[in-house]
Amino acid sequence: MGATRSRGGSYQPLSEINVTPFVDVMLVLLIIFMVTAPMMQQGIDVDLPETSTQPLRVTDEPLILTVKKDGRTFVGRKEIRPEDLKEKLAAIFEGRDSKELFLRADKAAPYGAVVKALAAAREAGAKKLGMVTEPE
């Protein structure tokens, strides 16, 4: 079955590839990645305020300062006490080329906690401060 007879009476193998199993495997992998991709998001859940601004395009890994609605502050995914925030940020900025910081503050966070976090970031040497929001 896998060969054909040529004019001279000798058999030549067919060189056709059956792509059906390959397509089946690729579709299964596609479904697996589509299901697991939303579960791979990491970070701290906060309820961000909504604005009508354009998204920022960031090429470097940003430093993110998060203020939760109960007033707790996080740098990246690590919780930092508000009184230690200035020293920790200053130590982080010493080893970084960009003195850029993004603030993710819950819209129900106390105004005083957000302002204190911004002031600590400025005193630590942050040159650029950005605020993370969700589109309306």
Which pLDDT score is estimated for 30?
94
Model confidence at 56, pLDDT cuts 50, 70, 90, reads: very low
Amino acid in position 34: M
Q: What residues have CB less than 8 Å from 107, skipping those under 6 apart?
A: 47, 48, 49
Please state whether the predicted TM-score (pTM) of the whole model is above 0.85: no
Which pLDDT score is estimated for 2?
54
Tokens (6 digits) for 93: 């900025």
Please name each of the domains of the chain with its CATH number: 3-40 (no CATH), 50-135 (3.30.420.270)
Res. 79: pLDDT tops 50: yes
DSSP-derived pairing of the beta strands 73-75 and 78-80: antiparallel
Res. 52: pLDDT tops 50: yes
Mean pLDDT of 53-69: 70
Residue that has been written with the tokens 């970031």 in this structure: 121
Strand partners, 75: 65, 78
- Integer Cα distance of 107 and 114 in angstroms: 10
Mean pLDDT of 87-106: 85
> In a 10 Å sphere around its CB, with 0-12 CB exposed, 13-18 middle and 19+ buried, how is residue 71 labelled?
middle
Listed range (9-23, 52-66, 68-82) with the worst mean pLDDT: 52-66
Mean pLDDT of 25-37: 91
Structure-model confidence comparison of residues 40 and 93, the more confident one: 93
